[in-house]
Protein backbone atom coordinates (compact mmCIF):
# COMPACT_ATOMS: atom_id res chain seq x y z
CA UNK A 1 0.00 0.00 0.00
CA UNK A 2 2.77 2.46 0.93
CA UNK A 3 4.51 1.58 -2.32
CA UNK A 4 1.47 2.45 -4.49
CA UNK A 5 0.93 5.78 -2.64
CA UNK A 6 4.60 6.68 -3.20
CA UNK A 7 4.33 5.85 -6.92
CA UNK A 8 1.11 7.88 -7.25
CA UNK A 9 2.69 10.90 -5.50
CA UNK A 10 5.80 10.62 -7.69
CA UNK A 11 3.67 10.47 -10.83
CA UNK A 12 1.62 13.52 -9.76
CA UNK A 13 4.76 15.46 -8.91
CA UNK A 14 6.31 14.59 -12.27
CA UNK A 15 3.17 15.66 -14.22
CA UNK A 16 2.84 18.89 -12.23
CA UNK A 17 6.53 19.69 -12.77
CA UNK A 18 6.31 19.13 -16.51
CA UNK A 19 3.15 21.21 -16.82
CA UNK A 20 4.69 24.12 -14.91
CA UNK A 21 7.81 24.15 -17.07
CA UNK A 22 5.97 23.96 -20.39
CA UNK A 23 5.48 26.96 -22.69
CA UNK A 24 2.20 27.50 -24.52
CA UNK A 25 1.68 29.31 -27.82
CA UNK A 26 -0.57 31.87 -26.08
CA UNK A 27 2.30 33.05 -23.84
CA UNK A 28 4.62 33.48 -26.83
CA UNK A 29 2.03 35.41 -28.84
CA UNK A 30 1.28 37.79 -25.95
CA UNK A 31 4.94 38.63 -25.39
CA UNK A 32 5.57 39.29 -29.10
CA UNK A 33 2.41 41.47 -29.26
CA UNK A 34 3.76 43.47 -26.32
CA UNK A 35 7.11 43.95 -28.07
CA UNK A 36 5.38 45.18 -31.23
CA UNK A 37 3.21 47.58 -29.21
CA UNK A 38 6.28 48.97 -27.40
CA UNK A 39 8.04 49.57 -30.74
CA UNK A 40 5.04 51.42 -32.14
CA UNK A 41 4.77 53.77 -29.16
CA UNK A 42 8.46 54.66 -28.90
CA UNK A 43 8.89 58.42 -28.71
CA UNK A 44 12.29 60.12 -28.75
CA UNK A 45 11.25 63.72 -28.09
CA UNK A 46 14.13 65.27 -26.15
CA UNK A 47 16.80 63.00 -27.68
CA UNK A 48 19.93 64.87 -28.80
CA UNK A 49 21.73 63.73 -31.95
CA UNK A 50 25.33 64.86 -32.29
CA UNK A 51 26.69 65.57 -35.77
CA UNK A 52 30.13 66.98 -36.66
CA UNK A 53 28.85 70.59 -36.53
CA UNK A 54 25.51 70.50 -34.73
CA UNK A 55 23.82 69.02 -31.68
CA UNK A 56 20.17 68.63 -32.70
CA UNK A 57 17.26 68.03 -30.34
CA UNK A 58 13.60 67.42 -31.12
CA UNK A 59 11.89 69.56 -28.49
CA UNK A 60 8.21 68.87 -29.27
CA UNK A 61 5.84 67.28 -31.78
CA UNK A 62 2.34 68.51 -32.59
CA UNK A 63 -0.30 67.56 -35.11
CA UNK A 64 -2.80 69.80 -36.86
CA UNK A 65 -3.95 71.24 -40.15
CA UNK A 66 -1.93 74.50 -40.23
CA UNK A 67 -1.79 75.65 -43.87
CA UNK A 68 -2.82 72.30 -45.41
CA UNK A 69 -6.08 72.44 -47.36
CA UNK A 70 -6.18 68.65 -47.95
CA UNK A 71 -8.53 67.03 -45.40
CA UNK A 72 -6.92 63.59 -46.05
CA UNK A 73 -3.65 64.93 -44.69
CA UNK A 74 -2.47 66.42 -41.44
CA UNK A 75 0.41 68.69 -40.59
CA UNK A 76 3.20 67.31 -38.41
CA UNK A 77 4.83 70.23 -36.59
CA UNK A 78 8.26 69.46 -35.12
CA UNK A 79 10.09 71.95 -32.91
CA UNK A 80 13.85 71.60 -33.23
CA UNK A 81 16.83 73.10 -31.40
CA UNK A 82 20.14 73.06 -33.30
CA UNK A 83 23.29 74.10 -31.43
CA UNK A 84 26.38 74.92 -33.49
CA UNK A 85 29.26 73.05 -31.83
CA UNK A 86 31.87 74.06 -34.40
CA UNK A 87 34.18 77.07 -34.38
CA UNK A 88 32.68 78.50 -37.58
CA UNK A 89 29.21 79.52 -38.70
CA UNK A 90 26.93 76.66 -39.74
CA UNK A 91 23.33 76.43 -40.82
CA UNK A 92 20.19 74.36 -40.40
CA UNK A 93 16.63 74.50 -41.57
CA UNK A 94 13.41 72.54 -41.86
CA UNK A 95 14.35 71.45 -45.41
CA UNK A 96 17.27 69.46 -43.95
CA UNK A 97 14.80 67.04 -42.33
CA UNK A 98 12.59 64.26 -43.76
CA UNK A 99 9.66 62.32 -42.30
CA UNK A 100 9.06 58.63 -42.99
CA UNK A 101 5.46 57.82 -42.05
CA UNK A 102 4.14 54.47 -40.87
CA UNK A 103 2.87 53.85 -44.45
CA UNK A 104 6.53 53.55 -45.57
CA UNK A 105 6.57 56.75 -47.64
CA UNK A 106 8.96 59.64 -47.05
CA UNK A 107 7.76 63.26 -46.92
CA UNK A 108 9.77 66.46 -47.22
CA UNK A 109 9.15 69.84 -45.64
CA UNK A 110 5.83 71.45 -46.56
CA UNK A 111 7.15 74.28 -48.74
CA UNK A 112 4.02 76.42 -48.63
CA UNK A 113 4.35 76.97 -44.88
CA UNK A 114 6.11 80.31 -44.39
CA UNK A 115 6.87 79.61 -40.73
CA UNK A 116 9.41 76.82 -41.47
CA UNK A 117 12.67 77.56 -39.65
CA UNK A 118 16.09 77.98 -41.22
CA UNK A 119 19.05 80.27 -40.75
CA UNK A 120 22.78 80.53 -40.25
CA UNK A 121 23.95 79.67 -36.74
CA UNK A 122 26.97 81.44 -35.26
CA UNK A 123 29.59 79.30 -33.51
CA UNK A 124 28.37 78.26 -30.05
CA UNK A 125 24.82 79.56 -30.63
CA UNK A 126 21.50 77.69 -30.84
CA UNK A 127 18.70 78.07 -33.37
CA UNK A 128 15.20 76.98 -32.28
CA UNK A 129 12.36 76.71 -34.77
CA UNK A 130 9.57 74.60 -36.20
CA UNK A 131 9.37 72.46 -39.31
CA UNK A 132 6.04 71.65 -40.99
CA UNK A 133 5.57 68.32 -42.76
CA UNK A 134 2.34 67.24 -44.48
CA UNK A 135 1.64 63.55 -43.77
CA UNK A 136 -1.39 61.26 -44.29
CA UNK A 137 -4.27 61.71 -41.87
CA UNK A 138 -4.30 58.94 -39.25
CA UNK A 139 -0.52 58.46 -39.17
CA UNK A 140 0.41 57.18 -35.69
CA UNK A 141 4.23 57.08 -35.80
CA UNK A 142 7.05 58.49 -37.93
CA UNK A 143 10.80 58.33 -38.23
CA UNK A 144 12.20 61.85 -38.38
CA UNK A 145 15.55 62.14 -40.23
CA UNK A 146 18.20 64.85 -40.28
CA UNK A 147 19.53 64.53 -43.83
CA UNK A 148 21.21 67.69 -45.15
CA UNK A 149 22.00 67.38 -48.88
CA UNK A 150 20.33 63.93 -48.78
CA UNK A 151 22.92 62.41 -46.40
CA UNK A 152 21.25 60.92 -43.31
CA UNK A 153 23.11 62.02 -40.16
CA UNK A 154 20.53 61.39 -37.43
CA UNK A 155 17.07 60.04 -36.71
CA UNK A 156 14.31 60.04 -34.12
CA UNK A 157 11.30 57.74 -33.66
CA UNK A 158 8.30 59.94 -32.92
CA UNK A 159 4.70 59.32 -31.98
CA UNK A 160 2.24 61.54 -33.82
CA UNK A 161 -0.08 63.08 -31.20
CA UNK A 162 -3.81 63.30 -31.75
CA UNK A 163 -5.08 66.70 -32.81
| Residues 130, 37, 138, 143, CA torsion sign | positive
Q: What pLDDT is attached to residue 139?
A: 92
Alpha carbon 76 to its chain's center: 13
Per-residue pLDDT tens digits for 65-116: 665 677 788 999 999 999 999 999 999 999 999 999 999 999 999 988 889 9
For residues 6 and 50, what is the distance between their CA atoms, to the nearest angstrom? 68
Stronger pLDDT, 5 or 137, i.e. the higher one? 137
pTM listed for this prediction: 0.72
Amino acid sequence: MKKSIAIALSACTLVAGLAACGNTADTTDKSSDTAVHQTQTKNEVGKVVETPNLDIQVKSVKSGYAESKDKNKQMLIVEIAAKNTSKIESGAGAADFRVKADNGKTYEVYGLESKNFGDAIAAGKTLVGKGYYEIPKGTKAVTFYYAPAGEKKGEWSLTVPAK
